[in-house]
Amino acid sequence: MSRSLSFRFGYIMALVAAAMAAILLLATLFFTNDFYASSIANAEHQLRQTVNTQLAKDTEILANTLAVQLAPSVANKDISGIQHGLQTLSGQQGLSYLNIYDQQGNILYALKPSGNPEHRHNLPNVRITQQDNKILANVPVLFNEKKVGAISYAISLSGVEKDIRQNSAILTQKADDIMTRMLMGLIGGFFALLLLMLPISQILAKRLLKPLDELTDRTRSFKVDGDPISFRLNRSDEIGELSNALQDMQEHLYDSHEQMALMAYRDPLTSLPNRRGLYQELRKLTLWCKENEKKVALLFIDLDHFKQINDSSSHEYGDLILKEIAQRLLKTVRLQMKDKHLPFPEDLLLSRMGGDEFVAILPDIEWLEDATDFSQNIIEALRQPFVINDKYFTLSCSIGITLYPDDASSAENMLKHADIAMYEAKRSGRNRARFFLPEMHHQVQERVTIQQGIGAAITENQLFLEYQPIFDLNTRTMIGAEALLRWKHPEKGKLEPDTFIPIVEESDQIGNLTRWIIQQVCDDLHSQPVLSKALKLTINISSVILNQPELAQQLNNTLRHIRRPHQQICLEITETSLMKNLDNTLPLLKQWKEAGYSIWIDDFGTGYSSLSYLARLPIDGVKIDRSFINDFENSKPVIEAILALAETMQLLVVSEGIEEPTQQQALTEMGCTFGQGYLLSGPVDFSRLNEIFTHAENSKSPSNNKI
């Protein structure tokens, strides 16, 4: 049975009892108690300061990571996406509350709402503070370099404080036990110790308390992100128990720190490095390439139309597909690197930036063809169908490629340039790769100018409509018109829709823009009550709205509340956009049809419609694409087939792009009733449209043709 510390202390004191005096005994007790108290207080203070400092750093890292990860969902106010992104925090110990704010500072989503969180937010820069035993984090959410919201949450320090106080209590209790036993042993030898008490007791106390000095020094040098420190003293007494308790607390702190680091530098869904982890590894890689005079290619991979999978199926399916994509990409990276010997793991060469974006790194390349072949291997790997729970999904990707050090000298610029090249790949038709070129900067600036300016264009009356009339080719009377959007840009002048609509469709403004067009058409109709109810105005509906249920519902709400009769408005949808997601679009078309709107397929003949699909569609007519009219001689069989098909299915037909009298004559002889083009009339403002219609009404011959 091991002897206790108090027994050994009493035994030693008995040996010098003859030299002790009463006043020296009190002095020894005073010095010993003061030493214990100061050691315990210093250890507790140092440990609390170290732990709180590290938790504040980890909280800032986690806050910035959440702001990047949730940026697309906050920008689009996608509650489901936010909930999904916060799944890993739902059971986070010590989380007091977490609030997501929108761009106006209102709470968009609250996780564990408690305490007294701000109900409005002024979207500050990063701010980490400590208040009322909590670490408070407030960070902005940036999307496309624009503040779209903020994240505010609090981590309670009560658990950590409890552990520190418990260990301090243990230390204090052990110190009290030692002092009590010391007092009992010293009282017995008081008179014998009178003469030798002071020098001998100081020497013995210092020797006995040396383990506490060592624990105090180790506690002061302890850092969560530093090298591990052993607190174990291999003793079987109370000090040994205390050292074991400190060792256990250190291990618990390391475990918590590793979990926080994993969340900060790894994507929880795919276990790949996230954006922060990518920057960390990319900086190391560029330094290695610089020292060894090597080149590296960075490939920015963006999945084409991946949001449609989440919208049409569910986020669960989307997550499973993302996991499979990560495995395919990782396999492709490993195959590409199998003959190379590099000083870093292959799994660090692939990262998930968030959402549907990945980044692959190809180090030590010799030829541009290496990066080209690698990108084609990635495209081919993702082209293969994904089978999830017996459901088939097909995907493509757009890739931007940049080279170090040719295109960029830093990790940040490499990612920026690869992102620019990726957007150029999307603009060029998607499902392809593009290398970064310096002139792409101007294209990006143009795109940013349009994306940032469309909101002001809507609110500041920079937009306006022109109408291109549609005529009855037999009577040359106007029976309708197509609304065409124009933008009078304050710097660039008049912009045609082809220059800005594709860019707006990539932003969150396409819904607002479509509602503006519908409202403007209705206002124009309301301003000219003399227009016959037989006149129809057509509005083009973007494919983006068809593929996003939220925008489609907003459009439905707008259409239900317009003032004019629905029968005066035609909705045009391109054949390609209609057929891409027919199952989701068909119910939407039926709702519009039941509400009284006419529905037309625009650019007919350029897509891949089948007779079985056309028979299911609640449409009123089709518009023959202008490309067939421009190449009339070669396209004549196609035009005849379209007219025959329309007659069989009892659909009306409008020919676009009529610019020559011979084209009009031929179309009329072939049985095409309606036409549109510069030969008949170019786009005009609404007042001029009213004049054309009024003149046609006064001079036309009788006709029963209507659209």
- Judge whether residue 10 has pLDDT over 50: no
* Three-state secondary structure call for residue 229: coil
Cα(first)–Cα(last) distance of the chain, in Å? 105
Please spell the DSSP secondary structure of 314-376, one letter per residue: -HHHHHHHHHHHHHHHHHHHHHHTTT---SS-GGGGEEEEETTEEEEEEES--SHHHHHHHHH
* Three-state secondary structure call for residue 312: helix
Q: What is the model's pLDDT at position 63?
A: 78
What stretches of 258-303 adopt beta strand conformation (E)?
296-303
Among 537, 304, 330, 305, which residue's Cα sits nearest to residue 398? Answer: 304
As a whole number of angstroms, the distance between CA 463 and CA 458 comes to 6
Confidence of residue 692 (pLDDT cuts 50, 70, 90): confident
Confidence of residue 200 (pLDDT cuts 50, 70, 90): low
Residues 6+ apart with CB under 8 A from 242: 167, 170, 171, 174, 215
Q: Which CATH number fits domain 275-438: 3.40.50.12780, 3.40.190.10, 3.40.50.300, 3.30.70.270?
A: 3.30.70.270
Query: Within a 10 A sphere around the Cβ of 257, how many other Cβ atoms?
Result: 17
User: In which residue ranges of the chain is CATH 3.30.450.20 found?
Assistant: 70-159
As a whole number of angstroms, the distance between CA 262 and CA 590 comes to 49
Give the homologous superfamily in CATH for domain 70-159: PAS domain (3.30.450.20)
Confidence of residue 456 (pLDDT cuts 50, 70, 90): confident
pLDDT digits (tens, 9 = 90+) for 395-416: 999 999 999 888 888 888 899 9
Higher pLDDT, 16 or 362: 362
How much is the average pLDDT of 454-463?
88
User: In which residue ranges of the chain is CATH 3.30.70.270 found?
Assistant: 275-438
Q: What is the model's pLDDT at position 3?
A: 44
- Whether the CB-CB separation of 239 and 212 falls below 8 Å is answered with yes
Higher pLDDT, 460 or 229: 460
Structure tokens at 619: 């449409």
As a whole number of angstroms, the distance between CA 403 and CA 435 comes to 9
User: In which residue ranges of the chain is CATH 3.20.20.450 found?
Assistant: 447-699
Give the homologous superfamily in CATH for domain 447-699: EAL domain (3.20.20.450)
Report the range out of 152-166, 300-314, 371-385, 599-613 with the highest average pLDDT: 371-385
How much is the average pLDDT of 4-11?
45
Locate tokens 């014998």: which residue?
192
How much is the average pLDDT of 670-680?
94
Strands 493-495 and 477-489: antiparallel
Q: What is the model's pLDDT at position 652?
A: 93
Q: What is the model's pLDDT at position 455?
A: 85
- Whether the CB-CB separation of 261 and 369 falls below 8 Å is answered with no
Among 685, 338, 651, 392, which residue's Cα sits nearest to residue 527? Answer: 685
Residues across the chain: 707
Among 5, 24, 11, 33, which residue's Cα sits nearest to residue 191? Answer: 24
